Amino acid sequence: MALKEEEREIGGVRYRVTQLLVTPGKDLLFRLGQILGPVFARGLQGEAVDLENINVSGMIAEFFDRAKAEDFDKFCSVLAKQTQVSPGEGKWVPLAREWEFPFAGRYEHLLQWLKFALEVQFGGFSSGLASLLGGGGGPGAAFRFHSPNT
């Protein structure tokens, strides 16, 4: 079984993200659950949690409210190792090696890349969570971030 790979252009720069293997991925998944779990826990308290249209702005606010600087650094460094960036002409280089190039002065692009990398890594996160919360957890419940700008 091959690891999933996806490409996206962000701010005029092309990124290719490859899924993590389970060992490093589970550590990030656990920490993501700790940070964002309260968003989903509201579903256990009877509040509606629309897993198909999760508001990325709210999730980013929750992340920065609950996460530590070390968490942000870890997410960025681990996911940068799974990302390649294209300087053009069909060439690809590891993002971890070219970290400053695409994001210097463009922090919104950093957040958009992080969002994309998390989508590639944890696309099934909410469908499993929906099952735990008693929801359908079917294909329509896939973990998708939505925001007005994407």
Check whether 142 has a pLDDT greater than 80: no
Q: What is the pLDDT of residue 86?
A: 95
Q: What is the pLDDT of residue 115?
A: 87
Q: What is the pLDDT of residue 65?
A: 85
Nearest to 77 by CA among 101, 104, 57, 97: 97
Q: What is the pLDDT of residue 136?
A: 45
Between 120 and 40, where is the model more confident? Answer: 120
Beta sheet of 83-88, edge-to-edge order? 5-10, 13-18, 83-88, 91-94
Pairing of strands 83-88, 145-146: unpaired
Q: What is the 3-state secondary structure (H, E, C) of 58-98?
A: HHHHHHHHHCCHHHHHHHHHHHHCCEEEEEECCEEEECCCC
The pLDDT tens digits for 48-101 are: 555 555 555 666 677 788 889 999 999 999 999 999 999 888 899 999 999 998
Q: What is the pLDDT of residue 13?
A: 94
pTM score, two decimals?
A: 0.74
Neighbours of 131 (CB within 10 A): 13
